[in-house]
Amino acid sequence: MAKRLSRLPGKHGETYGTFVFDDEGHTLGNALASVINEYPGVKICGHTVPHPAEKRVHLNIQTTGENVIQVLRRGLQDLERMCDHTIETFNKAYETHKATKEDSVDTT
């Protein structure tokens, strides 16, 4: 399996860095940046897609002191929980709607 996450080489430290997600785009970049930007110790978090022909997104994170890798890890975990909750909520609503429709069908 190919490596899909790397840290961009160059100047970086414990509180700032740019991460590259291969085979991803604005969908992940925007969602993840939105989650991470809500954390109190984050100065800035943003994403870019360097070229529209490439399936790659860069995520830049700067914190006030927290380790940037830990922030990224927490962001990914929180986003995963949000997605799981959304799927569960949708499935419950779908099943409720489906059951309501089946109960109201006239078979005479």
State the CATH number of the domain containing residue 69. 3.30.1360.10
Q: Is residue 30 part of a domain?
A: yes
CB 16 within 8 A of CB 46: no
Residue 105 has pLDDT above 80, yes or no: no
Q: Is residue 29 part of a domain?
A: yes
Q: Is residue 35 part of a domain?
A: yes
Residue 104: predicted pLDDT: 65
Please count the structural domains in the chain: 1
**Domain of 21?**
5-80
61 burial type by CB count under 10 A (0-12 exposed, 13-18 middle, 19+ buried): buried
Cβ neighbours for 5, distance < 8 A, ≥ 6 positions apart = 19, 20, 21, 22
Residue 102 has pLDDT above 80, yes or no: no
Rounded to two decimals, the pTM is: 0.84
Residue 18: predicted pLDDT: 96
Separation CA 74–CA 10 (nearest Å) = 23
Residue 12 has pLDDT above 60, yes or no: yes
Residue 69: predicted pLDDT: 96
Residue 103 has pLDDT above 70, yes or no: no
Separation CA 76–CA 39 (nearest Å) = 13
Q: Is residue 56 part of a domain?
A: yes
C-alpha of 62 from chain center: 17
Q: Is residue 105 part of a domain?
A: no
Separation CA 57–CA 32 (nearest Å) = 11
Mean pLDDT score, 55-65: 97
